[in-house]
Amino acid sequence: MGTTASQLGKADLSEYQELTFLTKQEILLAHKRFTELLPKEEKNSTNARVPMTKILTLPELKSNPFKERICLVFSTTNPNDGSFSFDDFLDFLSAFSDSATLEIKSHYAFRIFDFDNDGTLSCGDLEKLVDCLTYESEDSRLTTEEMRQLITNILEESDIDKDGTVNLSEFQHVISRSPDFVSSFKIVL
Amino acid sequence: MTSSSSGGVFNPAYHDSETLEVDRRDKRSWTHHTNPYAGEDPAWWAERDDAEPGASSGGWRGGESFSMGLFSTSSGTNSWQHDANPHTPDSSSHYRSAAGLPSLMTGGMTMRWRGMAMRGMSMFPNADPTHAALAEDAIRSEVENEEQNLIKELIALSAGEQTRKIQELPQSFGEKKNIRRQVMAFKSSTNSHHFLCCTDCCRNMSLSFRRCGNGIKSARQTLKLWRGIMKEIGGRFGSSVLTYFLFLKWLLMFNIFSFLVNFGFITIPLLVHDLSANIPSNVSFRGLELLTGAGYFNYTVMYYGGYSNETLHGLVDYNMQLAYFFTIAVYMVLCGIVLIFSMASSFKKNYVLSDPASSRAWQLLCSWDFSLTNERAVRQRKNNLRVQLKESLSERAEKESITLSKELKQVGIHVGSWFLSTCLAVGCGASIFYLCQYGEEQAMDTAPWSLLQEAETLLVPFVVSLMNIVIPLFFSLFNKFERYSTHRRQIYALLIRTSSLTVFPSQCWEPMVGQALYRLVIIDFLFLMLGSFFGEFLSNVIGTKLQPRLGVPEFDVARNVLELVYAQTLAWIGIYFSPLLPAIQMLKFFILFYIKKVSLTRNCQPPRRSGRAAQMQTIFIFLLFFPFFVGALSIVAYTAWSLTPSEQCGPFQGLNNTFSVVSIWIHDLEAIPTSDWVVWIYQNVIRSELFYFLLTLIIIAIIYIFWQLTQGRKELINLLRQRIINEGKDKSFLLEKLQNLQKSQPAVAPSQKKIKVHSGRRSADRSSGSQSNSNAVVQVLLARQQLEEEDRRSASGVSVPSDISTSGALMQAMVARHRAERQTPEEHSSSPSPLEQAMAARQKAQDEYWTVTDADDINSPNRPPVTHARLREEEGQDGSSNPSSPASSVVIQVMQARQRAEEEERIQWAPAPVQNSASPSSSALIQAMLARQQAQNEYDDGY
């Protein structure tokens, strides 16, 4: 811990604290875990990025069905390759931390579920979402009819303006009604 | 608002419009509504209230977001077209009608939402480069503009607020950093102007305070008990099981607190004063005391009897009676306050806000537990969710076909199980009552007990605990038939508790009660351990080895929570009779945590029914907790107020009741002149009925006011909900009309291929598609502008204030809607008005774009019919068109036709400016649509 603390300057640390929902310990732990993912020669460089494949090996993400989406949403590369800089990594942890607000969490959840990045959850997105949540093997899949009905049900309940898609405000509306969300949208290192 | 600005760029009318300023101004006002629910912006309310939404202030916003929709469709529909479900041919057509066009409409709306949050984060990965290039400048300028606004807003806030606000921006780290730097820079630059020592000092103070707060937060983090274990449990069993452990931990903390209070204020003074315990010589520690709590313990500070009624003379006089009384009283009150507050907040969070209507959407949209890290658990979770979804689908189908006889049967089962469980509870209560009476007779002789006698005292708690274990089994049996009987356990638990407290008429009865409670606590603990070992372990063995059909047991959160509640209630009641009972409780919970953890990880599987369990549990706990605590409190209060304390032991010996301690104290105080006010308060407040009467009245009045408030809010919510639904209906109605209109127009007006001619690139399918789309929209917007001009003219003619004229526009839209309704039957006969053409053009552009993309994917044979059909359509409209003409000539034709359409339009507008709405009904229709859209946007903003 001591070495990482010295690597992470005091000014940086306080800035990280001010800009994220993380505490000092969490940031230090995150830094430790992050440098573990870096190859040896890059350990000391400040702008090193960890590729997506490495990020996905984290035990906290390994079995998450949305792991690729999470990487893509939080990565700030252009074009987006899902790799994480330390800032991105903190961003990710901050959004999934205990103290992040419902607003932040629902915002990122929406972006994670918005598979085609078009700003609304369309039928295609919902279908992918259902697949992510239930898909195990080919034979256990929901049938086409079930899928269709499921999506109609979802839209019936959450699509307030009846435009066939769920937009962010509608999504946040649904989420504000489900108090479990804040506790379940959580990843702690 | 990157997208909104780019919408403007494509739209020449946008720049020409006079409302541009208005638009800019507006944008500022809604940009930072990052939290839709906290957006109780008075300005917004005013806006909402003073007119129908869609009034003047929105001006061009409807149009603007309309054009913004292009973005979302250009990427959205596109990807939809390419990668959407191959397995549902029929549903895809369904999607197209349902989602294709509407998404065009609302795309804008949602984009507005994403707005600044998305900026710079590869917003349109699918969008083509030309688009981006065109929009880039405007986007940049708008982004900068907006950032400036944000920074200005932030600067105005205090430092703490600033940090919080920046934290809450849904942006990437780098951007937040940037914003913070700018704010800081601005601050320091202004600060250098005035060297005010005071502000500097304040700033430093607040900074150090914040540092301190952060430090405390970090310290708490490190002190967090069982963090690793909690994470492991959450990762394997999900958050609903985790709630049990969190609750257990919370109770443990609670007991540590009460132990510290009692030990600090009651026991320590006594021990400091007199260390030697006055234990009779013939009593020795035999070991069984640990279970029974009798004998040796009877003479220690464990029980009420161990305390004296003296005033301890040390450095200061310490009145033991008063200390005992006030410690217990304050502790009880504190418990009550803590419980009420945590219950209220949890109630608010979990019950008031939750909406049973959206249960299915919830299941999918926010049920996934991101904290799950175990591969097996994830797989199991997926399976469970799938089964649950399938069940709910079939349940839904079943629900529709429910018959009267079935319903009657269900009611019968409900009543029957209710009756049975009540009988069971009453029976338990009665049996315990008689058992207690028997125990009393045994305990009458006061001679020192033999070992056997002492062991006999364990009978009652043993039976009680046994019931506690057996009865829930019966109840869970009922649960198989009927769903909602779990909460009935509460009755029997209450009964057991109260009846186990029958008064002992002996000389020193308080310690006896204390002993009884001690025994209950200990035996309860043993049974909890046995329960988890035998209950979960045995059923695991049975489930895996003997009867695989039963399967591995699940962790029953409800039952376990109830056990905890029962245990805690015992401790509360016992606190008066045995002040150190929390210490026992503390140990009990500490050990229980590890036992439950081991039992859980060894024997149980994650709960099959994921979902709202956790939320229901919290409600359950607190609804239950409250009566339990109130029960315990009233028992203690009754003891203190009405029962005569025993005469030979304890701090209150020789008094009529415990409360008279206070009157004696006041009596003493009267002698001291400086404490008149205490006496006055006692006489005039504590002892006066009038005071309580007034207090009650005031509280009732406040409750009434709040109740009315909630009623009003409920009404408001209903109204708003109705409004949303109406908006939705209007919108779908208008869309339907629009589609009908398009269908009924076989002759399609020219589509705008100008841009395509300019670029001349076949490869840029998408861009051309969306650009021609945008052109169609431009046309629509032009038409709308015209209409608005008309509007203004007519308004000035009748000399009405401008805001009325705009609401008039809405009226017009409504009228147009009616007319459109009337016109539908005769649509076929009516001549194509220019705006219909425009609409059709748009549709056409879209169609064409689709056919082009289709043609790329599908083989060439498909293509000829399409083009042919199109050409034929054009032929229908333009008699002079040449069927064999190449695409470019089509474009020229198209342009000509468009010009003609516009001319026609102008002609139609010119003669009858005031009654204009009469002729082009469809243009009014579009206007109506835009107005709707606008209204919705506005609503969204506010929301």
Query: Is the Cβ pair B172, A87 closer than 8 Å?
Result: yes
What is the DSSP code (8-state) at residue B303? S
H or E segment at B317? strand B317-319
Judging contacts by C-beta atoms under 8 Å, the chain A residues touching residue B614 are: 180, 183
Decide if A172 touches B, using CB distance below 8 A.
yes
Q: Choose from B226, B229, B368, B374 for mutation: most chain A CBs within 10 A.
A: B368
Banded model confidence at residue B542, pLDDT cuts 50, 70, 90: confident
Question: How close is the nearest chain B Cα to the Cα of A3, in Å?
Answer: 19
* Alpha carbons B56 and B23: distance in angstroms, whole number: 11
Judging contacts by C-beta atoms under 8 Å, the chain B residues touching residue A150 are: 360, 364, 389, 393
pLDDT at B98: 37
Task: Please tell me the pTM assigned to this model.
Answer: 0.62
The yes-or-no verdict on residue B342 having pLDDT over 70 is: yes
Question: How close is the nearest chain A Cα to the Cα of B701, in Å?
Answer: 31
* Alpha carbons B634 and B571: distance in angstroms, whole number: 14
Number of H helices, E strands in chain A: 12, 2
Q: pLDDT higher for B24 or B157?
A: B157
- Could you report the per-residue pLDDT of B739-775, keeping only the tens digit for each? 999 988 765 444 444 433 343 333 333 333 344 444 4
**Among A24, A62, A87, beta carbon nearest to B174:** A87
CA dist A92 → A19, B153, B533 (Å): 12, 26, 41
Query: Is the Cβ pair A136, B382 closer than 8 Å?
Result: yes
Q: Choose from B32, B79, B110, B378 for mutation: most chain A CBs within 10 A.
A: B110
pLDDT at B100: 37
Query: Is the Cβ pair B95, A171 closer than 8 Å?
Result: no
Query: Is the Cβ pair A177, B358 closer than 8 Å?
Result: yes
Strands A166-167 and B311-313 turn out to be unpaired
Judging contacts by C-beta atoms under 8 Å, the chain A residues touching residue B732 are: 162
**What residue has token string 């909406």?**
B355
Q: In this structure, which amino acid lies at residue B395? A: E
| Helix spans in B263-403 (H) | 268-273, 289-292, 320-347, 359-365, 375-400
- Could you report the per-residue pLDDT of B910-934, keeping only the tens digit for each? 444 444 433 444 555 565 566 666 6
Banded model confidence at residue B704, pLDDT cuts 50, 70, 90: very high
Query: Is the Cβ pair A64, B85 closer than 8 Å?
Result: no
The yes-or-no verdict on residue B844 having pLDDT over 90 is: no
**Among A24, A60, A118, beta carbon nearest to B76:** A118
Judging contacts by C-beta atoms under 8 Å, the chain B residues touching residue A116 are: 75-76, 79-80, 83, 126
Chain B residue with minimum CA distance to A70: B370
Contact B746, B875 (CB under 8 A): no
Query: Is the Cβ pair B76, A119 closer than 8 Å?
Result: yes
B80-87, Cβ contacts within 8 angstroms, sequence gap of 24 or more: B80/A116, B80/A122, B80/A123, B80/A124, B81/B850, B81/B853, B82/B853, B82/B857, B83/A116, B83/A124, B84/A123, B84/A124, B84/A127, B85/A124, B85/A127, B85/A144, B87/A144
Q: Which of A48-62, A94-108, B598-612 has the lowest mean pLDDT?
A: B598-612
Chain A residue with minimum CA distance to B364: A130
What average pLDDT does the segment B208-233 reach? 72
Judging contacts by C-beta atoms under 8 Å, the chain B residues touching residue A154 are: 360-361, 364-365
Top mean-pLDDT range of B148-152, B239-243, B703-707: B703-707
Query: Is the Cβ pair A25, B111 closer than 8 Å?
Result: no
Question: How close is the nearest chain B Cα to the Cα of A57, in Å?
Answer: 12
The yes-or-no verdict on residue B202 having pLDDT over 70 is: no
Judging contacts by C-beta atoms under 8 Å, the chain A residues touching residue B36 are: 169, 172
Q: Choose from A85, A86, A163, A165 for mutation: most chain B CBs within 10 A.
A: A163
Decide if B110 touches A, using CB distance below 8 A.
yes
Query: Is the Cβ pair B361, A153 closer than 8 Å?
Result: yes
Size of interface A-B (CB pairs under 8 A): 281
Q: pLDDT higher for B115 or B822?
A: B822
Q: Choose from A162, A175, A181, A185 for mutation: most chain B CBs within 10 A.
A: A162
Query: Is the Cβ pair A150, B122 closer than 8 Å?
Result: no
pLDDT at B82: 41
Which structural domains are found in chain A, ordered by start?
10-95 (1.10.238.10), 102-184 (1.10.238.10)
Q: Choose from B90, B112, B365 for mutation: most chain A CBs within 10 A.
A: B365
Decide if B143 touches A, using CB distance below 8 A.
no
Q: In this structure, which amino acid lies at residue B727? A: E
Tell me the pLDDT of chain B averaged across its residues: 64
Banded model confidence at residue B282, pLDDT cuts 50, 70, 90: low
CA angle B932, B80, A105 (to 5 degrees): 70
Contact B382, A133 (CB under 8 A): yes
* Alpha carbons A69 and A2: distance in angstroms, whole number: 34
pLDDT at B396: 66
Judging contacts by C-beta atoms under 8 Å, the chain B residues touching residue A168 are: 110, 113-114
Query: Is the Cβ pair A148, B728 closer than 8 Å?
Result: no
Structure tokens at B635: 């028992």
Interface of B with A in 711-750 (CB under 8 A): 724-725, 727-729, 731-732
Judging contacts by C-beta atoms under 8 Å, the chain A residues touching residue B228 are: none
Chain A residue with minimum CA distance to B168: A104
CA dist B658 → B321, B507, B636, B641 (Å): 9, 16, 11, 6
- Could you report the per-residue pLDDT of B238-272, keeping only the tens digit for each? 777 887 888 888 888 888 988 898 888 888 877 77
Judging contacts by C-beta atoms under 8 Å, the chain A residues touching residue B176 are: 19
Query: Is the Cβ pair A184, B353 closer than 8 Å?
Result: no
Query: Is the Cβ pair A169, B940 closer than 8 Å?
Result: yes
Count CB neighbours of B152 within 10 A: 12
Chain A residue with minimum CA distance to B379: A136
Q: How far is CA B95 from the centre of its chain?
A: 30
**Among B99, B383, B396, beta carbon nearest to A123:** B99
Decide if B114 touches A, using CB distance below 8 A.
yes
Query: Is the Cβ pair B122, A78 closer than 8 Å?
Result: yes
Count CB neighbours of A136 within 10 A: 13
Interface of A with B in 66-125 (CB under 8 A): 66, 74, 76, 78-80, 87-88, 90-91, 96, 101, 103-104, 107-109, 113, 116-120, 122-124
A24-32, Cβ contacts within 8 angstroms, sequence gap of 24 or more: A24/B214, A24/B218, A25/B218, A25/B221, A25/B222, A26/A93, A26/A97, A26/A189, A26/B221, A27/A90, A28/A1, A28/A4, A29/A189, A30/A86, A30/A89, A30/A90, A30/A93, A30/A189, A31/A4, A31/A7, A31/A86, A32/A1, A32/A4
The yes-or-no verdict on residue B417 having pLDDT over 90 is: no
Chain B residue with minimum CA distance to A154: B361
* Alpha carbons B745 and B895: distance in angstroms, whole number: 19
pLDDT at B696: 95
pLDDT at B101: 37
What is the DSSP code (8-state) at residue A75? -
- Could you report the per-residue pLDDT of B482-491, keeping only the tens digit for each? 444 444 444 4
Question: How close is the nearest chain B Cα to the Cα of A39, in Å?
Answer: 23
Judging contacts by C-beta atoms under 8 Å, the chain A residues touching residue B114 are: 119, 168
* Alpha carbons B647 and B649: distance in angstroms, whole number: 6
The yes-or-no verdict on residue B440 having pLDDT over 70 is: no
Judging contacts by C-beta atoms under 8 Å, the chain B residues touching residue A126 are: 364
What average pLDDT does the segment A4-18 reach? 73
pLDDT at A122: 85
Interface of A with B in 16-75 (CB under 8 A): 17-21, 23-26, 59-60, 62-66, 74
List phi, psi (to 5°) of B60.
Answer: -90, 5
